[in-house]
Structure 1
């Protein structure tokens, strides 16, 4: 029992079983290993930081389509009928992230390294309101976004309304009316 045990393994075959440390020439230090830079392939061209836009005083514009969604804040953005609206950039020029400010003080951030789209903004809002019941929301529908450079250059104000503003085609009555008109 006093004989030393030895392992037979193809992974360590040919190595000595001594307690010696490897020499300094074979050991790599953290300073010798060069870190590779992060990938830039996921970053789109012409996408700004909102802070850069503020520094350079570049005016931003909002698409009018955000006011035509008729979207309820506690429902999924995928429930919007016109899916093409969701693919549009939220602001022009596109930004990586932007804060969305509600009048009562809630603030959410929409992010996308390729430029924040309307869907990204609606997803960020939906994440905050998805567990709220309909009767908990005073104004449950999105009226649109507003950019007020006098108040704050780096965020959008979210406006809400109490009715959808556009007719919902899911009602049986509206489908019957459309058939009768045709």
Structure 2
């Protein structure tokens, strides 16, 4: 009975360490969609954004649901490329609205975020009730990257879009195939 043990037994061998545990990741796998990045990542890599041209002159009233947009096809299109999970939208008065979608922010997500902020406002309360479009400031602006103030301003504007409103509904340059076919038939 004095045979040596062939099996490793922690009580016999005097091992005090437990087996290494896997590091727990706090990011859910479902929230990571391929090709969709955060605005922070865009800033760090200095990736330039391109706005969807369909967002300009939609004729949409900001205190009505996004379902009132004439061109329903544009609602499914991404607001910016490359696609992002969330983006801040800034009004003329400086209020910030965040449009979110883990699969990539669409034009509908942006319109819904704007509508949520303005849905209780009456028509006569709004000086400029129609969406004219969005602007990404770094595309048109020069920054002084040598100063701390210039870098901070560039970072702030890199991660947001400016909302432009109009007192009159704009006419979209983009029309659906149905309207083109109807016009061609006449």
Q: TM-score, normalised by structure 1?
A: 0.69
Cα distance between partner residues in 2 of 1:154 and 1:37: 24
Q: How does 1:1-182 map to 2 (within 5 A)?
A: 39-149=28-138, 150=141, 152-166=157-171
Q: Which moved more, 1:145-154 or 1:70-79?
A: 145-154
The count of corresponding residues between Structure 1 and Structure 2 is: 138
Any gaps of 5 or more consecutive residues in structure 1?
1-31, 168-177
Question: Is 2:85–2:102's contact at 8 Å kept on the other side of the alignment?
Answer: yes
Structure ID, larger Rg? 1
Q: CA RMSD in A?
A: 2.3
- C-alpha deviation, 1:36, in angstroms: 8.3
Q: Larger relative CO (CA 8 A, sep 6+): 1 or 2?
A: 2
Cα distance between partner residues in 1 of 2:81 and 2:119: 28
Any gaps of 5 or more consecutive residues in structure 2?
1-20, 142-153, 173-181
Corresponding residue SS for 1:68: coil
Deviations 1:12-68 (A, max 9, x none): xxxxxxxxxxxxxxxxxxxx9x97866423432110110111111111100110013
Runs ≥4 residues deviating over 6 A = 34-37
Q: TM-score, normalised by structure 2?
A: 0.68
